[in-house]
Structure 1
Amino acid sequence: MTDTPYPGRGPDADAREGADTVRAATHGGAPDTMTRARAALREVVPRLVTLLRSVPDTGSAAVGTWTVGDVAAHLTHVLRMDTDALAGAPVPEATVTTAGMAEANAEMLALDDERAPSVLADHIGTLADEFDAVASRSRAATVDWLQGTPLPPSAVACHLLEECLIHGHDIATATGRPWPIRRHHALLAIEGAVLPLIAALPPTAMVNQDRAGSFRARFDLRLRGGRRTLMVFDRGSLTIEAGDARDVDAHLSADPAALMLVFIGRQAIGRPLLGGKLTAWGPRPWKLLRMLTVISPP
């Protein structure tokens, strides 16, 4: 079947035909990924601290049942956890699924009643400095992350970057403040953390098992400014594979920041499609909408 653009146009210049489809595990392990992640965190964390200091009341609703204060407190827990993982210290016991992480996060928030914005801002800044110091000394090929998952240290740093970007967005949206996400930061978070996590975790970890059913699809994901990745959904599993990108249900050219917000459920797909931030084409592009009901990042 001839590929049909949806909506409006086909591949863009930075997702040219013939680019290699690569395994996600290769995305996060380059020696300079840690350096780039640390540099990104040194840009993003001070913005996050300044944002939090500007919030007069952390009791505002933010995301789900969480308030702004809950989001900020959660960030301190993530900073502590990722620092401990790099240092080889024990990390919380948690199953890396949406339900498993919700339970673990709720337990940590229940044990931590600090919600004052200035205190949380100070805590985030101090913990970020500690993380950077530990990251600068990291020489291990892999470290044990949640659920005993072995990850390159750079993937842990990129995970922390993703958490700061997403939850900075949550706080800013809840309080009516700007939170621009730079393309290269979002790209680093996806290629350096999200894709390696999909490769390292069980294939069911990021799929809603109740909704997946018999859903099967193959998507050629083209991150603008980055690499091409073949995402394969197969009746409740998600894997990243090398293979023929022509044998797919749809191609997706994506601005990394827009894709991150759509995948994590912070933004509906309509506006990015209409604005050209996401472009889909191929034999069965409508499967992308079904995919968004199936994918469930923890």
Structure 2
Amino acid sequence: METAVYSARWLAVRRAVGAVGDRFADLLLAVPPHAMATADWTVADTAAHVVAISESYAAMLDPAGPAPPISALHDMMGDVTVDTVADLNEVGLRDLAERDPRALADRLRADIAAMLRATDGTDPGRPIDWLGGSRVPAAGVLAHLVNEMQIHGRDIARATGARWEVSAADAALFFELFLLGVTRYGYGRLLDWDRLERRGRIAVEFRSRHTEPAVMVLTDGLVTVEKPGPNVDVKLHFDPVALNLVLFGRLSRTRAALTGRIMVWGRRPWLLPAFLRKVRLPS
């Protein structure tokens, strides 16, 4: 990504994490905490999950600050894969006992304020150690938290009838700053699995109105990022909100395609499912 574009995205993600954090905190105070936000989590559980993440990120982004608040969570982080994130989440929920919505909202706001202070004037590309031995640019850590609040805010709103909106520009930050960032910096063990790796190359070009064009390439099980070029198998045009919902299992690929929010074409579009089996996120 060009320096000027990256600088603009850095300003955007700093604004977004504060604004979305405020809206998420306000949402927690406006809905019943014991309502089921998902099949397994109440609104209060969902809020605690988000706060477990925000507290961890505040510690990651400020190495000189206080120790990580949930030691058991951080002991597990190095061995996590996409397929075992659920185990990490359960530890976070078990060890963060707070379920009062106002206390959780206050903690979230405080964590975000701490993150913004710790990264004020910092290099947005500063590498941060993340899950599974991966590394993420500082801007990507903020973008990941924005997406967590967007996804779980939607869960809470759908379950309680509250209003929740996600802007495409904010949603796009997850793809550009986090997903491409962790792929470029090194995703460690995150995509490890016990299957045989598909041999060969699959190149998928991603385009949207809110992102710079980028190509993700799966070659013999290894994922890399390239600039757009002629040797592309699949072209994918996406609405960033829809793409994030698909990646996190909130929207089916079929529905996203039928509504035109994700469009796929190219010389070998049938390779996309094989690509997405490897390039996957927790749902």
TM bracket, shorter-chain basis: 0.7 to 0.9
> For residues 209 and 29 of structure 1, what CA distance do their matches in structure 2 show?
38
Q: Deviations over 1:168-223 (max 9, x none)?
A: 12222332333221011011222111210122233662465548655852211112
> For residues 123 and 204 of structure 2, what CA distance do their matches in structure 1 show?
35
**2:63 matched residue in structure 1:** 88
Q: Which has the higher contact order (CA 8 A, sep 6+)?
A: 1
Matches within 5 A, 1:103-122: 103-122=87-106
Matches within 5 A, 1:46-125: 46-62=22-38, 65-89=40-64, 92-93=74-75, 94=77, 95-125=79-109
| Structure 2 counterpart of 1:179, from 158, 161, 164 | 164
Q: Identity of paired residues, percent?
A: 29
| Structure 2 counterpart of 1:266, from 217, 238, 250 | 250
**Greater alpha carbon shift after TM alignment, 188-197 vs 31-40:** 31-40
Q: Deviations over 1:238-281 (max 9, x none)?
A: 2222362x322211011111111111221101222122111111
Q: Deviations over 1:215-237 (max 9, x none)?
A: 85221111222211111123433
Taking structure 1 as the reference length, what is the TM-score of the superposition?
0.79
- Displacement of 1:48 in angstroms is 0.7
For structure 2, the residue ranges without an aligned partner over 5 or more in a row are 69-73
Check whether the contact 1:208–1:236 (CA below 8 A) recurs between aligned residues: no
| Structure 2 counterpart of 1:247, from 220, 226, 231 | 231
Q: Deviations over 1:135-171 (max 9, x none)?
A: 3253586243225544432222222212222221222
CA-atom RMSD, angstroms? 2.8
Q: For residue 38 of structure 2, give the secondary structure of its aligned residue in structure 1.
A: strand
Matches within 5 A, 1:1-298: 30-62=6-38, 65-89=40-64, 92-93=74-75, 94=77, 95-136=79-120, 138=122, 142-147=126-131, 149-202=134-187, 205-206=190-191, 209-210=194-195, 213-214=198-199, 216-242=201-227, 244=229, 246-298=230-282
**1:8 matched residue in structure 2:** none
Check whether the contact 2:126–2:137 (CA below 8 A) recurs between aligned residues: yes
Check whether the contact 1:62–1:173 (CA below 8 A) recurs between aligned residues: no
For structure 1, the residue ranges without an aligned partner over 5 or more in a row are 1-21
Tell me which amino acid in the other structure corresponds to 1:69: A
> For residues 144 and 225 of structure 1, what CA distance do their matches in structure 2 show?
25
Taking structure 2 as the reference length, what is the TM-score of the superposition?
0.83
Check whether the contact 2:136–2:178 (CA below 8 A) recurs between aligned residues: no
> For residues 215 and 204 of structure 1, what CA distance do their matches in structure 2 show?
21
Tell me which amino acid in the other structure corresponds to 1:75: V
User: Number of matched residues?
Assistant: 272
Check whether the contact 1:203–1:237 (CA below 8 A) recurs between aligned residues: no
- Displacement of 1:119 in angstroms is 2.4
- Displacement of 1:292 in angstroms is 3.5
Check whether the contact 1:29–1:155 (CA below 8 A) recurs between aligned residues: no
Q: For residue 211 of structure 2, give the secondary structure of its aligned residue in structure 1.
A: coil
Q: For residue 289 of structure 1, give the secondary structure of its aligned residue in structure 2.
A: helix
